[in-house]
Amino acid sequence: MAGSALLAAGHRVGMAEAEVRTDPEVEHEHGSPWPFVIAVGAAIGYVGLVISLPLLVFGVIVFLAGAVGWLRDDLHSVSRAVYGTATAISAKFRHVSDRKLAVWLFLATEVMFFSALIGTSWTLRFRNSYGLPWGMPGQVLDVPITALNTFILFASSLTMVEALASIERGDQKRMRRFLAATLVLGIAFVVIQAREFYTLYFVEGLTFTSAPDGLNPLYGQTFFIQTGTHGAHVTAGVFALLYTTIKAWKGGFTKENHEAVELVALYWNFVDVVWIFLFTIVYLI
Amino acid sequence: MTPAKTPTADEAPARSFWYAYVFLIAALALALQLYVAVLSPLAYADRVLVLVGLATVMAALVVAYDMHLKYEPRWILLIPFGSLALVFVLVAALLASSGSAPPP
């Protein structure tokens, strides 16, 4: 009796496991500790920011350790079944996955962030403190080189979406090539901008507190804060692209499982959109 | 749980058809911007209007086609444009309240 009861119970458990395995609606928990480590690191870092530098450094170290651990785990878990089919991608809202919705919400905060930076710079320009003029196009900034950099960013947007289109068709080889091309173009943008910053600061004399040719000293401040913040975002995008490219080379994306490529493309195209306005406002107006 | 929408085999090529055109239009608009900013005899106010207009067209194309906003559900528009509207109000208020301040 006891044996048959055990067998029956075992059969029920086996059936339940089979249902879990085959039901695409079931959410599989990965159980990774790394997001928790990242959150703890961020909390320590924020407290350290207020009360103690060593605590801040410790928090940053814990944060980075968590991030590296999480990325390493993800890099080794290629094409998991949990993300294997379209129906396994969770979505609380119709037709938009949770992860894509989260990226759009993040981009909304970025829209507000950059708009605040640009709006503040415009206000300072129109307020015209010190009664000194702003730089005109080409007066201090190198417009042709930056136009070339803008073209490079446009080209990187094209290669990024072509990478996405490639994996949507299941063409792994083409996706890898386009991702690598996007990475190279992204690095080129950052290098050219770094060279421009160096020349402006050390050769032209455009600093945080002064500007050449009798220009308004706020010109340098607003220039560096706007373009520097954007450059930091591009640099973050380059790291995201580097990770995505490495994962692509390891076979981490398939025709059915490539949402990460689309999300990185969303972010990358967003920094392109921001640059379109920054180039116009900072360099051409 | 609602299944997320992923592009079907038919939809993906339809979207990617526009990528090269968006790039070409953006490149042409960039060239036009350079001409207007450096060589054009337009008055400053007109120049600003044309430059910002061209930038808006370029950005709209990238958002619509490269970021696929054209193919997303309409309510997604509320997220980026809602935040943009809020910022416009705040920046307009900032600009309106900023008179000519004396040097510190």
Question: For residues A263, A260, A191 and A178, what is the CA-based torsion angle, rounded to 10 degrees?
Answer: -110
End-to-end CA distance of chain A: 88
CA distance A19 to A13: 10
Q: Which two tokens stand for residue B98?
A: 């900023």
**Distance (Å) from the C-alpha of residue B83 to the closest C-alpha of chain A?**
6
Q: Which of B38, B87, B103 minimises the CB distance to A119?
A: B87
- Which element (helix H / strand E) includes B33? helix B19-34
User: What pLDDT score does A5 carry?
Assistant: 46
- CB nearest to B12's CB, from A165, A273, A284: A165
Task: Flag the least confident range among A108-117, A236-245, B13-22.
Answer: B13-22
pLDDT-derived band at A29, boundaries 50, 70, 90: low
The pLDDT of A237-259, averaged and rounded, is 91
Rounded distance between C-alpha atoms, residue A75 and residue A246, angstroms: 8
- Please give the pLDDT value at position A255: 86
Report CA A247 to chain centroid distance, whole Å: 16
Size of interface A-B (CB pairs under 8 A): 170
Q: Round to whole Å and give the CA distance between B27 and B38.
A: 17
Q: Identify whether the C-beta of residue A162 lies closer than 8 Å to the C-beta of residue B65.
A: no
Max avg pLDDT among A69-73, A248-252, A275-279: A275-279
Facing A108 at nearest CB: one of B6, B20, B80:
B80
- B101 — contact with chain A (CB < 8 Å)? yes
- pLDDT class of B8 with cuts at 50, 70, 90: low
DSSP B53: H
- Pick from A27-36, A74-83, A200-209, B32-41: least confident: A74-83
Q: Which pair of structure tokens corresponds to residue A97?
A: 């996955």
ipTM of this complex: 0.83
Q: What percent of chain A has pLDDT over 70?
A: 83
Q: How far is CA B76 from CA A107, A155, B83, B88, in A?
A: 12, 26, 12, 19
A14: pLDDT strictly greater than 70: no
**The predicted structure's pLDDT at residue B11:** 59
Mutation choice for A interface testing from B47, B58, B97 by most A CBs within 10 A: B58
Q: Give me the pLDDT at residue A3, please.
A: 44
Q: Which of A82, A85, A92, A95 would best serve as a mutation to test chain B binding (most B beta carbons within 10 A)? A: A95
B9 phi and psi angles, rounded to 5 deg? -60, -30
Best B8, B21, B23 residue to mutate vs chain A (most A CBs within 10 Å): B23
Q: Please tell me the distance from the alpha carbon of residue A103 to that of residue A98, in angstroms, as a whole number.
A: 9
Instruction: Check if B14 contacts A (Cβ < 8 Å).
Output: no
Quote the pLDDT of residue A16.
Answer: 43
Chain A partners within 8 Å of B101 (Cβ) = 127, 129
Q: What is the pLDDT of residue A94?
A: 67
**Which chain B residues are Cβ-neighbours of A260 within 8 angstroms?**
none
Specify which of A12-16, A97-101, A151-155 reaches the highest per-range mean pLDDT: A151-155
How confident is the model over A139-160, as a mean pLDDT? 95
Q: Are A194 and A230 in contact (CB under 8 A)?
A: no
What residue spans of chain A are helical by DSSP H? 2-22, 34-51, 53-76, 98-127, 143-168, 172-198, 218-249, 259-278
- Which of A94, A131, A281 is the closest to B103 by Cβ? A131
pLDDT in tens, A220-244: 999 999 999 999 999 999 999 999 9
- Tokens coding A51: 């009360």
Please compute the mean of the pLDDT values over residues B68-89 and round it to a whole number.
Answer: 87
Span A97-115, average pLDDT:
91
Distance from CA of A94 to the nearest CA of B (A): 6
From B6, B33, B66, residue closest to A280, measured CB to CB:
B33
Average pLDDT over chain A, rounded to whole?
85
How far off is chain A from B6, nearest CA to CA, in Å?
6
Rounded mean pLDDT of A108-130?
A: 87
